[in-house]
Amino acid sequence: MSRNPSILFRQLFDRVSCTYTYLLGCNKTRRAILIDPVKEHVNRDLSLLKRLELNLQYVANTHVHADHVTGSGAIKTLLKPAVVESIISSASEAKADIHVKDGDIIECGDSIKLHVLSTPGHTSGCVSYYCPEGAFVFTGDCLLVGGCGRTDFQQGNSAQLYTSVHQSLFTLPEDTSVFPAHDYNGNLMSTIGEEKRYNPRLSKSQEEFIQIMKDLKLDLPKLIDIAVPQNMICGF
Ligand SMILES: [Fe+2]
């Protein structure tokens, strides 16, 4: 999945919340970063790291999730006293070891450099992590394959999400691979070019997009009252 041989890439899935967790490893230094781990799959993720002889340096979240508890806290507890630092945006106001903002670069080993893009709208603290060397971007719940995250709770704002996608994500090279935080239809990934042209919501005008989001009328996630408070403190 990575077009850069010095970056090891794994996409992992949680069937219950349909969440993707991503593992990136530096093939040279064996340092690794996990993006959006799920609490129930911490043992799977740690076994994989062990099997691939990777040392976990960071656990990063794209935002404060409402549908599952992050694995960050459990991983930090299990790997103690090894140094694993949790990362989330400062705008999320959630607890973590490192707080990032737009323009920051997370470096892991020699080959992984993740550029932090502020992409609010699903929540006010959503960020995407862009890796130019691998030509991929982790879009969290901002941009999904043929969709986007909901905007009706957690400070969601449809106009803001539209602006994040059009002014930030859609300015990336068109062949950049898009890896979302969720997919409910069996898709693994997309590209910026495909989403620009074919995303049924975000290829529309901002006014049409806002109306589409208003008309969704979704039920609240089952775990929202448990997941949000726990994720505000890194899943502890
Ligand atoms: Fe979310």
CATH at residue 83: 3.60.15.10
Distance 232 CA to ligand 1 centre (A): 13
CA–centroid distance, residue 224 to ligand 1 (Å): 10
Q: Is residue 222 part of a domain?
A: no
Q: How many domains does the chain have?
A: 1
Q: With the C-alpha atoms ordered 30, 84, 103, 209, is the resulting torsion angle positive or negative? A: positive
Please classify residue 118 by burial: count the beta carbons closer than 10 Å to its beta carbon, then call 0-12 exposed, 13-18 middle and 19+ buried: buried
Contact 110, 26 (CB under 8 A): yes
Does residue 121 fall inside a structural domain?
yes
Question: What separation in Å is there between the alpha carbon of 163 and the centre of ligand 1?
Answer: 18
204 Cα: distance to centroid of ligand 1 (angstroms): 22
* Residue 201, domain member (yes or no): yes
What's the longest Cα–Cα distance across the chain?
51
Q: Indicate whether 223 belongs to any domain.
A: no
Residue 83, pLDDT score: 84
Q: What is the pLDDT of residue 4?
A: 86
Give residue 159's pLDDT.
98
Query: Which residue is listed with tokens 């408070």?
Result: 229
pLDDT at 81: 60
Tell me the CA–centroid distance for residue 53 and ligand 1, in Å. Answer: 31
Nearest C-alpha neighbor of 83 from the set 95, 68, 98: 98
Cis status, amide bond into 81, omega within 30 of 0: yes
Residue with tokens 């910026």: 192
Distance (Å, whole) CA 233 – CA 227: 10
User: What local confidence, expressed as pLDDT, does residue 87 receive?
Assistant: 97
The residues of the chain scoring below 70 in pLDDT are 1-2, 81-82
Q: Is residue 55 part of a domain?
A: yes
Question: What pLDDT, on the 0 to 100 scale, is given for residue 235?
Answer: 87
Q: CA 60 to CA 56: how far, in whole Å?
A: 11
Instruction: Encode pLDDT of 171-216 as tens digits.
Output: 999 999 999 999 999 999 999 999 999 999 999 999 999 999 999 9
Beta-sheet strand order (sheet of 98-100): 7-14, 19-26, 31-35, 55-60, 85-89, 98-100
The confidence score (pLDDT) of residue 154 equals 87
Contact 164, 142 (CB under 8 A): yes
Cα of 167 vs centre of ligand 1, distance in Å, is 20
In this structure, is residue 34 part of a structural domain?
Answer: yes
Range of the structural domain that residue 138 is part of: 7-217
In a domain, 176, yes or no: yes
Any domain includes 1: no
